[in-house]
Chains A and B, each alone.
Chain A
Amino acid sequence: MSRGEDAVVSRRTVELFVSGLLSIVGIGLAISNWKLGASWAADGPQPGYFPFLLSTMLALASLYGVFDALRGRHGARGDAAFVKRDEFVRVLQVLVPTILFCLATEFLGIYVAGFLLIAGFMRYIGESRWISCVAVALVLMASLFWCFEIEFQVPMPKGPIEDRLGY
Chain B
Amino acid sequence: MDGTAIDSLLHGFVVLLTFKNMLLMMVGIILGIFVGVLPGLGGPNGVALLLPLTFTMDPTGAIVLLSCIYWGALFGGAITSILFNIPGEAWSVATTFDGYPMAQQGRAGEALTAAFTASFFGALAAVLLITFLAPLVARFALRFGPPEFFAVYFLTFCSFVGMGKEARHKILISMLIGFLLAAVGMDTVGGSLRMTFGFSDLLRGFDFLVAVIGLFGLSEILLTMEEKLAFEGKQAKLDLKVVWRTWKSLPRYWATLIRSAIAGCWLGITPGGAIAASFMGYGLAKRFSRDPDSFGTGRIEGVLAPETAAHAAGTSALLPMLALGIPGSGTAAVLLGGLMIWGLQPGPLLFVEHADFVWGLIASMYLGNIAGLILVLATVPLFAAILRVPFPTIASSVIVLCAIGAYAVHGAVFDIWLMVLFGVVGYVFKKLNYPLAPLALALVLGDRAEDAFRQTMIASRGNLTVFWSNSLVGSITSLALLLLLWPVLSDIMKRLRKSGDGVPTGAASG
Closest A residue to B186 by beta carbon equals A47
Q: Is there contact, CB below 8 Å, between A95 and B180? A: no
B176 at the interface (CB under 8 A from A): yes
Q: Is there contact, CB below 8 Å, between B411 and A155? A: yes
Cβ proximity bits B391-426 to A, threshold 8 Å, 1 near / 0 not: 111011101100110011001010011001001100
Within the assembled complex, what's the spacing in Å between the Cα atoms of A60 and B457?
A: 26
Closest B residue to A56 by beta carbon equals B176
A102 at the interface (CB under 8 A from B): yes
A103 smallest CB distance to B (angstroms): 10
Residue from B172, B192, B226, B392 in contact with A61 in the complex, judged by beta carbons closer than 8 Å? B172
Q: Is there contact, CB below 8 Å, between B432 and A18? A: yes
Q: Is there contact, CB below 8 Å, between B393 and A128? A: yes
Chain A neighbourhood of B227, CB < 8 A: 87
Chain B neighbourhood of A14, CB < 8 A: 428, 431-432
Within the assembled complex, what's the spacing in Å between the Cα atoms of A141 and B399?
A: 12
Given the known A-B contacts A32-B195, A91-B427, are A64 and B396 also in contact in the complex, defined by CB atoms under 8 Å?
no
Chain B neighbourhood of A29, CB < 8 A: 180, 195
Most chain-A Cβ atoms within 10 A of its Cβ — which of B404, B411, B417?
Answer: B404
Q: Is there contact, CB below 8 Å, between B420 and A45? A: no
B362 at the interface (CB under 8 A from A): no
Closest A residue to B226 by beta carbon equals A87
Q: Is there contact, CB below 8 Å, between A93 and B417? A: no
A72 at the interface (CB under 8 A from B): no
Chain B neighbourhood of A44, CB < 8 A: 454, 456-458, 460-462
User: Which of B186-202 touch A at CB < 8 Å?
Assistant: 187, 189-190, 192, 194-195, 197
**Chain A, interface SS category:** helix
Within the assembled complex, what's the spacing in Å between the Cα atoms of A102 and B432?
A: 27
Within the assembled complex, what's the spacing in Å between the Cα atoms of A36 and B460?
A: 23
Within the assembled complex, what's the spacing in Å between the Cα atoms of A81 and B417?
A: 28
A130 at the interface (CB under 8 A from B): no
Given the known A-B contacts A54-B176, A65-B170, A122-B393, are A106 and B413 also in contact in the complex, defined by CB atoms under 8 Å?
yes
Within the assembled complex, what's the spacing in Å between the Cα atoms of A68 and B170?
A: 11
A24 at the interface (CB under 8 A from B): no
Q: Is there contact, CB below 8 Å, between B416 and A54? A: no
Q: Is there contact, CB below 8 Å, between A154 and B55? A: yes
Chain A neighbourhood of B454, CB < 8 A: 44-45
Q: Is there contact, CB below 8 Å, between B176 and A43? A: no
User: Which of B273-293 touch A at CB < 8 Å?
Assistant: none
Within the assembled complex, what's the spacing in Å between the Cα atoms of A136 and B194?
A: 46
Q: Is there contact, CB below 8 Å, between A47 and B172? A: no
Within the assembled complex, what's the spacing in Å between the Cα atoms of A97 and B399?
A: 10
Chain B neighbourhood of A50, CB < 8 A: 179, 183, 450, 453
Chain B neighbourhood of A117, CB < 8 A: 396, 399-400
Q: Is there contact, CB below 8 Å, between B462 and A42? A: yes
Interface residues on B, range: 35 or more
Cβ proximity bits A99-110 to B, threshold 8 Å, 1 near / 0 not: 101100110001
Closest A residue to B170 by beta carbon equals A65
Q: Is there contact, CB below 8 Å, between B403 and A54? A: no
Number of A residues, CB within 8 Å of B: 66
Closest A residue to B189 by beta carbon equals A47
User: Which of A19-61 touch B at CB < 8 Å?
Assistant: 22, 29, 32-33, 36, 40-48, 50-51, 54-55, 57-58, 61
Within the assembled complex, what's the spacing in Å between the Cα atoms of A148 and B50?
A: 11
Q: Is there contact, CB below 8 Å, between B404 and A148? A: yes
Q: Is there contact, CB below 8 Å, between B390 and A126? A: yes
Q: Is there contact, CB below 8 Å, between B407 and A98? A: no
Given the known A-B contacts A47-B192, A118-B397, are A62 and B424 also in contact in the complex, defined by CB atoms under 8 Å?
no
Within the assembled complex, what's the spacing in Å between the Cα atoms of A125 and B460?
A: 62
Chain B neighbourhood of A152, CB < 8 A: 52-53, 55-56
B147 smallest CB distance to A (angstroms): 12
A3 at the interface (CB under 8 A from B): no
B173 at the interface (CB under 8 A from A): yes
Given the known A-B contacts A83-B431, A91-B225, A94-B225, are A105 and B403 also in contact in the complex, defined by CB atoms under 8 Å?
yes
Q: Is there contact, CB below 8 Å, between A126 and B393? A: yes
Q: Is there contact, CB below 8 Å, between B226 and A122? A: no
Closest B residue to A57 by beta carbon equals B176
B350 at the interface (CB under 8 A from A): no
A residues with a Cβ closer than 8 A to B are 11, 14-15, 18, 22, 29, 32-33, 36, 40-48, 50-51, 54-55, 57-58, 61-62, 64-65, 68, 82-83, 87-88, 90-91, 93-95, 97-99, 101-102, 105-106, 110, 114, 117-118, 121-122, 125-126, 128, 136, 140-141, 144, 147-148, 152-157
B residues with a Cβ closer than 8 A to A are 52-53, 55-56, 167, 169-170, 172-173, 176-177, 179-180, 183, 187, 189-190, 192, 194-195, 197, 218, 221-222, 225-228, 390-393, 395-397, 399-400, 403-404, 407-408, 411, 413, 416-417, 420, 423-424, 427-428, 431-432, 450, 453-454, 456-458, 460-462
